[in-house]
Each structure stands twice: as structure tokens, then as C-alpha cells.
Amino acid sequence: MTMRAGFNLHHSDLQEFLFAPIWDERNGTPLSILSALARLGMDPWGEAARLADMPRAAAASALAVILAKLPRNEPEVPNYAKISQHLVQFLPEGGSKPSDGTVGNRSGNGGMGAAGNIISVQNIGLILALAAVLVTLQVNGWLL
């Protein structure tokens, strides 16, 4: 049985990178790249695959820009460039290879992207609302 795209590991060669710790949070919990990207509303596997396709120096620069967007409560500013240079070493050489079922589709969700899931939920809500109106009309005798 094939696992639904929303639950598979997408690019298994990216796991080492995605689960690499960036720094420890104030409470002592390590912050992974996966968690950081998710906090910023980014697709972790898609972004990791994009970074893996870049030369290391470019990937480190792009990752430093991403990390700088993370909210921080500490007064000292981390050396994002140094942290990023360390983290990109966990990316696979030569880019990422999609797992089974995701060939040609880095988002792993049938090509719909994040907005596709929202649209589907909105359509279901609209259908349920219309069904409720039709039931109400029929119960009140206004619909034959």
C-alpha cells in the first residue's frame, strides 16, 4: 500500500539536513531546520530540495537569509552565515532525489501546493452550505 503524499517522507535523502539542529531554544530544546522552516510557513522538503540543488555557497547564503527571519528573544544576533555554512554540509551532494511517488513533484501533494488544500476545504464547505440550504428549502415546502 502506498502512503498518501501528505504522510510520506518526501525526500528521504534530505532527512539528515532537515533534522539537523540549528541552535537550542531558550528552554533548551534544539530547533531543527524542519521546525524553523515550518515556523516560517515554508514547505521544509521543498525548500531543502531547492537548497540541495544549489552550489554550497549559494545554499549557505540562502539559508542564512531564511534563518535571519526567525524570531529571536535574545539580544545577541547569531552568526547566520557561519551557522548556515555548517548546516549545508548535511545537504546531499548533487541535489535531492525524490522518493517514490514524488517524481517531478517536490511538494508531494499532487502538484496542488499549500493553497490547493485550502481550496479543497473551501469547496467542501461551500457544498455543505448549499446542501443545507436545499434541505431547508425542501423541509419548508419551497422546493419540490
- The conformation of residue 77, written as its DSSP 8-state character, comes to P
pTM above 0.85, yes or no: no
Helix (H) or strand (E) run with residue 31 in it? strand 30-32
User: Angle CA(57)–CA(63)–CA(66) in degrees, nearest 5?
Assistant: 150
Q: Tens digits of per-residue pLDDT, 48-96?
A: 999 999 999 999 999 999 999 998 877 788 999 999 999 999 998 877 6
**Helix boundaries (H) for the chain:** 15-18, 33-39, 44-52, 56-68, 80-87, 113-139
Phi/psi of residue 118, each to 5°?
A: -65, -45
How is the chain split into domains, by residue range? Answer: 12-111, 113-144
